[in-house]
Amino acid sequence: MPETLTIALAKGRILDETLPLLARAGIEPSDDLNTSRKLVFSTNQPTINLVLIRSADVPTYVQYGAADIGIAGKDVLLEHGGEGLYERLDLKIARCRLVTAGIVGKPVPRGRLKVATKYPEITRQYFLEKGQQVELIKLYGSMELAPIVGLADLIVDLVDTGNTLKANGLVAIDHIVDISSRLIVNRASLKMKNQAVKELVEKFEQAVAEPSA
Ligand code: PRP
């Protein structure tokens, strides 16, 4: 019996770049992932299923083996910590940067800073390494609003074009890390379904190397 693999995909922006990569790897979902309300999808490959979830949940599904493989941003992987999974391949899609940002022209205050972010672990670690005391304010989106309304001195957020920062009178201050999507594999699946995982990883390696249309 050929082994079945489940791949966890992230909803949202990252999906637009994931679908062409999947296609280049020879995987076509049975339904339109952008419009369907389903969460589980079969594909043109009888041994490959997809699940579609929130991006921050992808590492958790793969960690516990609910999915054998996942496609997740380096940001959510760093935040998750990587327990129970291997980061196997840089897919070189959904590239952006994680930065600190504040209000244009406003000096960063001395002393304990208030920092708003949806990445508390990365942020804690970053400021710990700098030896800077911070109060973390956990948000779930639209971080750019926090300095404008005085909720925070700084934000830690993803920047792609820089348009969102600019539109809100903010500027990137420090570059924390470059981000792209990664292929992750459950540790047990790598052992128990070694052949199937290996073949799939090779397909993705080829898809990454192929220039996109
Ligand atoms: C992301 C990120 C920034 C924005 C950056 O937010 O958090 O807000 O995109 O992109 P830009 O530099 O090209 O403007 P997203 O739209 O994913 O929503 P979120 O606020 O819910 O995180």
What are the pLDDT digits (tens) for 143-178? 999 999 999 999 999 999 999 999 999 999 999 999
Say if ligand 1 is within 6 A of residue 116 CB.
Answer: no
What DSSP element (H or E) covers 93?
none
Output DSSP code: residue 43: B
Q: Going by CA atoms, what residue is nearest to atom 2 of ligand 1?
A: 158
210 C-alpha to ligand 1 centroid (Å): 28
Say what percent of the chain tops pLDDT 70: 99
165 C-alpha to ligand 1 centroid (Å): 9
Set out the domains of the chain in order of their start, with CATH numbers.
5-94+180-209 (3.40.190.10), 96-179 (3.40.190.10)
Query: Strand 113-117 vs strand 154-159: parallel, antiparallel, or unpaired?
Result: parallel
Say if ligand 1 is within 6 A of residue 195 CB.
Answer: no
Per-residue pLDDT at 213? 62
Displacement of CA 4 from its chain's centroid (Å) = 24
Q: Is the CB of residue 14 less than 8 Å from the CB of residue 55?
A: yes
Q: Rounded distance, CA 67 to CA 52, Å?
A: 11
What are the pLDDT digits (tens) for 62-118? 999 999 999 999 999 999 999 999 999 999 999 999 999 999 999 999 899 999 999
Q: Rounded distance, CA 1 to CA 128, Å?
A: 50
Q: Going by CA atoms, what residue is nearest to atom 7 of ligand 1?
A: 158
pTM of the model: 0.95
Q: Which of 76, 122, 157 to mutate to test the pocket of ligand 1 (most atoms within 8 A of CB)?
A: 157
Band of pLDDT at residue 2, cut at 50, 70 and 90: confident
